[in-house]
C-alpha cells in the first residue's frame, strides 16, 4: 500500500468524524455562529482544542499557498476548500495526498 492511499483514507476519516459531531449541532441549532463559538470556547479544554485547530488551519493555508508556488502544486485549491468545508482533518491529508501524487508523477 502506498502512503497516498493512507492519506485518502485519512481524508475520509477526517471528514466523517468531525461531521458526526457537527451535523447534530446543525440539526438542533441551525447555523447559529454565536452559539457555535460559545460552545467551542465553553471551557479551557475546549478552548485549547479550538485554538489548536485555528492555528493549525492557518499553518495549513500558509504551507499550501507556499507549495503552490514553490512546487507548482496543481489543484492547490482543493485542500483549502476542504479546510473551509470540514477543517484541518480533511485539508491536511488532502494536501499531503496531492503532494504524493505529484511526486509519483
Q: Give pTM, 2 decimals.
A: 0.91
pLDDT (0 to 100) of residue 72: 87
Confidence band of 73 (pLDDT split at 50, 70, 90) = confident
Domain boundaries, the chain: 3-104
Grid cell, residue 29, equals 441549532
Per-residue pLDDT tens digits for 7-54: 999 999 999 999 999 999 999 999 999 999 999 999 999 999 999 999
pLDDT (0 to 100) of residue 51: 98
SS3 74: coil
pLDDT (0 to 100) of residue 104: 86
Residue 15 has φ and ψ, to the nearest 5°, of -100, -45
pLDDT (0 to 100) of residue 1: 83
Q: What percent of the chain has pLDDT over 70?
A: 100
Amino acid at each position: 500500500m502506498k502512503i497516498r492511499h493512507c492519506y485518502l483514507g485519512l481524508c475520509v476519516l477526517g471528514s466523517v468524524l468531525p461531521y458526526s459531531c457537527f451535523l447534530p449541532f446543525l440539526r438542533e441549532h441551525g447555523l447559529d455562529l454565536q452559539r457555535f463559538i460559545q460552545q467551542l470556547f465553553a471551557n479551557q479544554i475546549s478552548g485549547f482544542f479550538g485554538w489548536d485547530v485555528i492555528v493549525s488551519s492557518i499553518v495549513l493555508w500558509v504551507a499550501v499557498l507556499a507549495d503552490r508556488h514553490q512546487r507548482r502544486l496543481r489543484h492547490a485549491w482543493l485542500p483549502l476548500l476542504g479546510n473551509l468545508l470540514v477543517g484541518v482533518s480533511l485539508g491536511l491529508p488532502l494536501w499531503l495526498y496531492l503532494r504524493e501524487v505529484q511526486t509519483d508523477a
